[in-house]
Amino acid sequence: MTYLADANGYYGEFGGAFVPEILHRCVQELQSMYLEVLHSASFREDFDRLLRDYVGRPSPLYLAKRLSHRYGCKIYLKREDLNHTGAHKINNTVGQILLARRLRKRRIIAETGAGQHGVATATVCALMGMECVVYMGRTDVERQRVNVEKMKMLGARVVPVTSGNGTLKDATNEAIRDWCCHPSDTYYIIGSTVGPHPYPDLVARLQSVISEEIRKQLQEQEGRDHPDYLIACVGGGSNAAGTIYHYVDDPRVQIVLAEAGGKGVETGQTAATIALGRMGIIHGARTYVIQNEDGQIEEPYSISAGLDYPGIGPMHANLARQKRAIVLAVNDDEAIRAAYELTRLEGIIPALESAHALGALGKLRFKPEDVVVLTVSGRGDKDMETYLRFG
Ligand SMILES: *Cc1c(COP(=O)(O)O)cnc(C)c1O
């Protein structure tokens, strides 16, 4: 029994690959070779070197003393906010561009919501001298000017998407459409543990450097290689997948996932997919989706653009279904409060997404000897306007 993907990309009844006929060959090509590439010595060497010298890994595991005192346990923060480009997303884009090169693709496409994954993709495309097209909803283009300018400066073409509400879901549809038109020369870098198999497993493996480091760092600092709790926020699920990867089958570790409650799970203005979603298919995977009675996908809402997604990775849907993970909905106001608390107690301004993980602390009961590892998935620079408006 494992909570990791099986050979067909299923996590229990979640996952699989539901793609249009024209993409079957691309997806199958990827399925048939991704593990071989990931395990090859040359990939490992390139990946490990870039993570160290370019991304700045290992990221610190920081014992947050004042925060620990507040919650009556021992809290370590996994500092993904200190990575190049300011979040965990770069771990994935570095890995996938190395894979794209080995597949001899010359053109890279990506979707982005807040622009964090778009910037991380444009960054590695500049690094490798590859053509880069990023699809971004029109609404997000307006809301996230700085990230749009960064992508352009990095040499990417940003295509505003006007369908739907002009947000992440629509950008993803458009990226898939592009991929269908250019299946032979284009590689699609997906930004989270979503999409058709093998993407959820591929992205989880690339992000698993996070839990690999946690294991070593806890051994050094605590004299044992596992925590009692792991806490991470979930949009599509990639920083959470990386945080829990090496512990997912270890019953000593309680997994806690924080999804975006928005204005409240009952208000209709929410992105709490585990709380409200029903089984459906979104962007090539079978998973929980927030949908109406006709099966139409509902527009999600969260104050945090990175968590504003109407689906959830199949790995996390299964963890919730099997009760392997505790899933908590953290509302906008709770996240804002938690962000200010971390800032004042530890001098760390977290991304709004990460603030949802911090917001889960107050909903749990800890013992003084409990060791908690919470992933700070990104830094708060991009969210300053929101913090000033609502703080
Ligand atoms: C994109 C993003 C997230 C949400 O994505 P996951 O795939 O669920 O990790 C969380 N935190 C930050 C800082 C992000 O940029």
Q: Is the pLDDT of residue 192 over 90?
A: yes
Q: How far is the CA of 27 from the centre of ligand 1 (A)?
A: 24
Per-residue confidence (pLDDT) for residue 165, from 0 to 100:
83
Instruction: Check if 352 has its Cβ closer than 6 Å to any atom of ligand 1.
Output: no
Percentage of the chain beyond pLDDT 70 is: 100
Instruction: Check if 375 has its Cβ closer than 6 Å to any atom of ligand 1.
Output: no
Residue 98 DSSP label:
H
Residue 305 DSSP label:
G
Domain 58-87+208-390 has CATH 3.40.50.1100: yes
Quick one: which of 373, 329, 384, 312 has its CA closest to 351? Answer: 384
Per-residue confidence (pLDDT) for residue 248, from 0 to 100:
98
Per-residue confidence (pLDDT) for residue 389, from 0 to 100:
93
Ligand 1 site-directed mutation target among 82, 89, 234, most atoms within 8 Å of CB: 89
Give 280-294 pLDDT, tens digit per residue: 999 999 999 999 999
Task: For residue 160, give the 3-state DSSP assignment.
Answer: strand
Q: How far is the CA of 223 from the centre of ligand 1 (A)?
A: 30
Per-residue confidence (pLDDT) for residue 350, from 0 to 100:
98
Instruction: Check if 305 has its Cβ closer than 6 Å to any atom of ligand 1.
Output: no
Give 198-244 pLDDT, tens digit per residue: 999 999 999 999 999 999 999 999 999 999 999 999 999 999 999 99
Strand ranges of the sheet holding 157-161, from the earlier edge strand across to the other edge: 157-161, 131-137, 107-112, 186-188
Which residues does residue 327 pair with via DSSP β-bridges, in sequence order? 257
Residue 55 DSSP label:
I
Phi, psi of 36, rounded to the nearest 5 degrees: -60, -45
Report whether 16 contacts 8 (CB < 8 A): yes
Nearest ligand 1 atom, CA 81: 13
Q: Is the pLDDT of residue 164 over 90?
A: no
Ligand 1 site-directed mutation target among 81, 82, 88, 189, most atoms within 8 Å of CB: 88
Percentage of the chain beyond pLDDT 90 is: 92
Question: Is the Cα torsion angle 103, 107, 109, 115 positive or negative in sign?
Answer: positive
Per-residue confidence (pLDDT) for residue 356, from 0 to 100:
98
Q: What is the mean pLDDT of residues 42-49?
A: 98
Give 356-391 pLDDT, tens digit per residue: 999 999 999 999 999 999 999 999 999 999 999 987
Q: How far is the CA of 21 from the centre of ligand 1 (A)?
A: 30
Quick one: which of 315, 296, 171 has its CA closest to 240? Answer: 315
> Looking at ligand 1, which residue's alpha carbon is closest to its atom 5?
235
Give 307-330 pLDDT, tens digit per residue: 988 899 999 999 999 999 999 999
User: Rounded distance, CA 191 to CA 301, Å?
Assistant: 19
Amino acid at 126: A
Q: What is the second-level CATH architecture of the domain 18-50+89-202?
A: 3-Layer(aba) Sandwich (3.40)
Q: How confident is the model at residue 110 (pLDDT cuts 50, 70, 90)?
A: very high
Nearest ligand 1 atom, CA 192: 7
User: Rounded distance, CA 89 to CA 209, Å?
Assistant: 12
Instruction: Check if 213 has its Cβ closer than 6 Å to any atom of ligand 1.
Output: no
Phi, psi of 9, rounded to the nearest 5 degrees: 80, 25
Instruction: Check if 87 has its Cβ closer than 6 Å to any atom of ligand 1.
Output: yes
Average pLDDT in the chain: 96
Ranges in the chain annotated CATH 3.40.50.1100: 18-50+89-202, 58-87+208-390
Q: Is the pLDDT of residue 129 over 80?
A: yes
Catalytic residues: 89, 111, 377
Instruction: Check if 351 has its Cβ closer than 6 Å to any atom of ligand 1.
Output: yes
Residue 209 corresponds to which tokens in the numbers above?
Answer: 């450097």
Quick one: which of 125, 106, 97 has its CA closest to 189? Answer: 97
Per-residue confidence (pLDDT) for residue 117, from 0 to 100:
97
User: Rounded distance, CA 3 to CA 341, Å?
Assistant: 34
* Strands (DSSP E) found in 195-295: 229-233, 254-262, 278-282, 285-289
For 110-138, letters b (16+ CB in 10 Å) and e give bbbbbbbbbbbbbbbbeeeebebbbbbbb
| HEC letters along 371-384 | EEEEEECEECHHHH
Instruction: Check if 354 has its Cβ closer than 6 Å to any atom of ligand 1.
Output: yes
Per-residue confidence (pLDDT) for residue 143, from 0 to 100:
81
Per-residue confidence (pLDDT) for residue 308, from 0 to 100:
87
Which residues does residue 372 pair with via DSSP β-bridges, in sequence order? 75, 229
User: Rounded distance, CA 298 to CA 43, Å?
Assistant: 40
Amino acid at 40: S
The residue to which tokens 């977290």 are assigned: 350
> CA neighbours within 13 Å on the CB side: how many for 224?
8
Per-residue confidence (pLDDT) for residue 1, from 0 to 100:
84
> Looking at ligand 1, which residue's alpha carbon is closest to its atom 2?
306
Instruction: Check if 116 has its Cβ closer than 6 Å to any atom of ligand 1.
Output: yes
Nearest ligand 1 atom, CA 354: 11
> CA geometry: angle at 86 spanning 175 and 327, to 5°?
75
Give 134-160 pLDDT, tens digit per residue: 999 998 898 889 999 999 999 999 999
Give 47-102 pLDDT, tens digit per residue: 999 999 999 999 999 999 999 999 999 999 999 999 999 999 999 999 999 999 99
Report whether 352 contacts 143 (CB < 8 A): no
Per-residue confidence (pLDDT) for residue 309, from 0 to 100:
87
Q: Is the pLDDT of residue 10 over 80?
A: yes
Instruction: Check if 313 has its Cβ closer than 6 Å to any atom of ligand 1.
Output: no
Q: Is the pLDDT of residue 167 over 90?
A: no
User: Rounded distance, CA 388 to CA 383, Å?
Assistant: 9
For 74-94, letters b (16+ CB in 10 Å) and e give bbbbbbbbbbebbbbbbbbbb
Instruction: Check if 195 has its Cβ closer than 6 Å to any atom of ligand 1.
Output: no
Q: Is the pLDDT of residue 275 over 80?
A: yes
Q: How far is the CA of 282 from the centre of ligand 1 (A)?
A: 18
Ligand 1 site-directed mutation target among 92, 116, 230, 381, most atoms within 8 Å of CB: 116
Q: How far is the CA of 233 from the centre of ligand 1 (A)?
A: 7
